[in-house]
Structure 1
Amino acid sequence: MKKQLLSGLVAAAVLGTMALPVSAQNIAIVNGKAIPKERAELIKQQFARTGRPMPPEADAQIKDRLILQEVFAQEAQKRGLDASSDFKLSMEMARQGILANELVLDFQKNNPVTDAEIKAENDTYVAANSGKEYKASHILIEKEADAKAAIAAINKGAKFEEIAKKQSKDPGSGANGGAMDWATPSSYVSEFTEAMIKLEKGKMTQTPVKSQFGYHIIRLDDVRQAELPKLEDVKPQVAQQLQQQKLAKFQEDLRAKAKVE
């Protein structure tokens, strides 16, 4: 996997370094043509931008790949392939792609996500998701009459879980006896939420609750305060999300300014 990644970076870097000057320090000379050390250094820099550690064998891999790239390039030129329209088009597309990538990196460098922005974003999330979490069970039935009959059966001693397994149209919770995971009220459709939060712990709705999915029989199993992760634990994810938002806004602004006919 590391070798494939390095190969891809090499290919991209070679396309973007056609104009690099020949240095006194070369990693190799192929048929009289020098491969400057700067090319290998540029590849290392691009690899470093990924945030991954450079493998010990990287130098040898980069050298071998650049030599092979030079051998192939020289042979292609001998055959006149660099004069074809397909080659010229590919070179122009590669040039644009490399420039676009450099623009993104330049934007990210000059518009870093600050700790203050990360804290503000996390505070907003906490404010919107703090409060109570509910653990509920439900049975989803297509017809109201059947839902009423199921409620009556449970009140007479039938097990909620057994009826859920046999009759519920919700395949996920139905197989678990109607049980669902902990969730905030906003996780459910409004009709479900309104009925659920009115229940006492351990109690069940006595009339079917209609929603777009059918008729629900809801039982409130437990309630607790929402458990949200600490800022330190989610800081990298929040930073990445904010960086993506900034980049998306930058892209939208550039696209809006462009005159496209």
Structure 2
Amino acid sequence: MTFKPARLLLALIAVAAMPAFAQNAAVVNGKPIPLARVDAVVKQVVAQGQQPDSPELREMVKKDLIAREVMMQEALKKGFEKDATVKQQLDSARQTIVINALVRDYVAKNAVGDADIKAEYERYKVATGDKEYHVRHILAENEADAKAIIAKLKGGAKFEDLAKTSKDTGTANSGGDLEWALPSSFPKPFSDAFVSLQKGQVGENPVQTPAGFHVVKLDDTRPAKVQTLDELKPQIVDMLQQKKLQAYQEEMIKKAAIK
């Protein structure tokens, strides 16, 4: 429903004229449920993108809070707050709430600086590299089998044909194709092997990883499509904040008297 100017003015006047007790959404057996609590829940629901703010949403939240209050009062009557398990859970919840408040305060007062964000992004670019590689491989169970495959390739066998014997069943039927990827996507011994190859070249020696022994071929290279700073900034900020928090926590642990 859309308010016309005159009706909106009357609504505002009515709100201003309400007595103080009207700041409660409801009163259940003498226990008030503040409107602020409804507002907080509505704000959370809207922020999560579940529903837009509306009278229907607010009524639904109000009814839910009333139902929870009724249940809470009944639980208190039956003495459940004195149950040992409930007490333990309450202590744990209280600890989490208080710690979260500490974390929010620390993050607010120790924001990640633009210089740190840019430096981390530059480190990411260096680690990522400026090239993508189109790589193929044949996975063998042992070094001897891998060397035998290399010998067959030198003898004129086709890589795609021998790849059908690969222990990597996911790529065996596609000629050992690992598609385009950055070196950082692979274990370092594997990536070190193919970045040193020329286009179309097969590695002279098998490469060992936890998966087995690989015969590696480089099909081609192209400039890498590295994500921009703006694209990665939220992830970088989150990572740097986590590092700050971890260092803060470790410093407090060092100072604590722990027996």
Query: TM-score if structure 1 supplies the norm length?
Result: 0.74
Unaligned runs of 5+ in 2: 1-19
Query: 1:96 aligns to what?
Result: 95
SS in 1 for 2:236: helix
State the one-letter code of the partner of 1:68: A
Q: Say which of 32, 35, 41 aligns to 2:33.
A: 35
What is the RMSD computed on CA atoms of the aligned residues? 3.0
Q: Does 2:70 correspond to 1:74?
A: no
Query: 1:160 aligns to what?
Result: 159
Q: Deviations over 1:191-237 (max 9, x none)?
A: 545543443211224x4425255543322211223321111112222
CA offset at residue 74 of structure 1?
Answer: 2.0
Q: Judge which range, 238-247 or 149-158, deviates more.
A: 149-158
Tell me if structure 1 keeps the 8 A contact 2:193–2:207. Answer: no
Q: Does 2:109 correspond to 1:110?
A: yes
Unaligned runs of 5+ in 1: 1-21
Tell me if structure 2 keeps the 8 A contact 1:200–1:220. Answer: yes
CA offset at residue 156 of structure 1?
Answer: 4.5
CA distance in 2, matches of 1:147, 1:64: 69
Query: 1:55 aligns to what?
Result: 52
Tell me if structure 2 keeps the 8 A contact 1:204–1:219. Answer: yes
Q: Say which of 224, 229, 233 aligns to 2:222.
A: 224
Q: Judge which range, 22-31 or 103-112, deviates more.
A: 22-31
Matches within 5 A, 1:1-261: 25-44=23-42, 47=44, 51-53=47-49, 55-56=52-53, 57-165=56-164, 167-185=165-183, 187-188=185-186, 192-193=190-191, 195-205=193-203, 207-212=204-209, 214-261=212-259
CA offset at residue 157 of structure 1?
Answer: 4.1
SS in 2 for 1:112: coil
CA distance in 1, matches of 2:179, 2:65: 54
CA offset at residue 102 of structure 1?
Answer: 1.6
CA 1:111–1:24: 2 relative to 1, 3 Å: farther
State the one-letter code of the partner of 1:104: V
Tell me the number of residue pairs that the alignment of Structure 1 and Structure 2 aligns: 236
CA 1:189–1:39: 2 relative to 1, 3 Å: closer
CA offset at residue 26 of structure 1?
Answer: 0.9
CA distance in 1, matches of 2:76, 2:185: 62
CA 1:90–1:139: 2 relative to 1, 3 Å: closer
State the one-letter code of the partner of 1:230: T
Identical columns (%): 42
